[in-house]
Amino acid sequence: MAKKQVTFADIAEYTGFSKTTISRYFNHPDSLTLENQEKIAKALDELGYRKNKLARVLANGKSEFVGIIVPNLYLHYYSEMLTQLLRSYSDYHYKFLVFVSDGGPEKEMQYLDELMAYKIEGLIVLSHTLSSEKLASYNIPVIAIEREAEHICSVTTDNYMGGMQATSLLIRNQCDVLIHINVHVPENIPAYDRIRAFEETCREYHVPYELNLNVSGDSYQELFEQMRVIFQDIDSKYSGQKKGIFLSNDTYANMFLNLIFQKYNCLPDEYQIIGFDDSPIAAESIIPITTVGQQIDVIAQTTMELLVEQMNEMKKRKPAPLQKPIHKKITPVLIRRQTTGD
């Protein structure tokens, strides 16, 4: 606030119109004669007017703010999703208030308080910290992305399809035994379907399989050492058999691949590897890794469409909020590279 702002009052005085007319110049320009429009435009320029959208929000209640809560940006999946969401500014002109959720439920509720205090019109949640029940209680449109969403709308990858695509490929490629490596995944989050799909597909085709859901750890090093143990176990246990390894993400897949290389200096025919996410690492690894690519752009776009629709609904005189949450699934794409034969 170096110098006082130029306001509608100033423009009004300068042009001889009323404040109302200046306001109309912005909101209903057609109701002014072209001549007067130009007069005002000229005055705006000469006085160096700058909009104050905060005052506008106070007057009409439309903040054009959307809140985003994301767990981190370390994972490519999240940073890419955030990018795509932010990009939607071009289409909808919603502004995004972004919080990284890394402090547990209390912190996250504080973020939500802050967002509500700034009168966000809608919310996009990627973190898993708060229950969908809690989120629903804020009474604004909420879309969950790839998380538990019993009481709110959601957009997720079709994880079952993804898991099935990966598993089927390994089976088609004549693997003797399939192994799925993952962290422990609660049954109520979408990614659990990858495990279900793996298991059910293996059974359907009567292919021997093993589930290893014990991965855990905070640092890359910890995870890598765990993976080393898992690798050694598998490598000796199934020696001589053709092994199809389906890992829950590309980082794990890359670790596994590196471990194989450390031992064999190449990817032997008796190993096939598939990751998940189509992260950069899958392309940058020592051998490009076959992976299941989530259509992040489509997910982001679907999210915004769903959200905008509901935010528009809320602006009507008699809003009719959704009775039941809408859940959308986006089909992933199998990206065949060099770790699954040629």
Asked if 168 and 239 count as a contact pair (C-beta separation under 8 A), the reply is: no
Token pair of 92 as six digits:
């909808």
Distances (CA, A) of 192 to 158, 302, 336: 11, 22, 23
Q: Which of residues 74-103 bind a second copy (CB under 8 A)?
A: 74, 79-80, 82-83, 86-87, 89-90, 95-100, 102-103
Question: Mask of contacts with DNA, 40-59, x by CB under 7 A?
Answer: -----------xx--xx-xx
Distances (CA, A) of 326 to 70, 149, 153: 21, 10, 5
Burial class (CB in 10 A: 0-12, 13-18, 19+), 202: buried
- Angle ∠(23,29,30) on CA atoms, nearest 5: 140
232 binds, among a second copy, DNA, none (CB under 5 to 8 A by kind): none
**Which span (14-22, 86-94, 158-166, 300-308) binds DNA, by CB under 7 A?**
14-22
Q: Does 312 bind a second copy (CB under 8 A)?
A: no
- Cβ-based nearer residue to DNA, 22 or 234: 22
Bridge-based pairing state of the strands 333-335 and 290-293: antiparallel
Residue from 2, 3, 33, 221 in contact with DNA (CB under 7 A): 33
- Cβ-based nearer residue to DNA, 37 or 173: 37
17 binds, among DNA, a second copy, none (CB under 5 to 8 A by kind): DNA
Angle at which helices 159-172 and 192-204 pack, to 10 degrees? 40
Minimum separation from the CB atom of position 42 to a second copy (A): 19
Q: Does 239 bind DNA (CB under 7 A)?
A: no
Residues found near DNA in the complex (CB under 7 A)? 4-5, 7-9, 16-21, 23-24, 26-27, 30-33, 36, 51-52, 55-56, 58-60
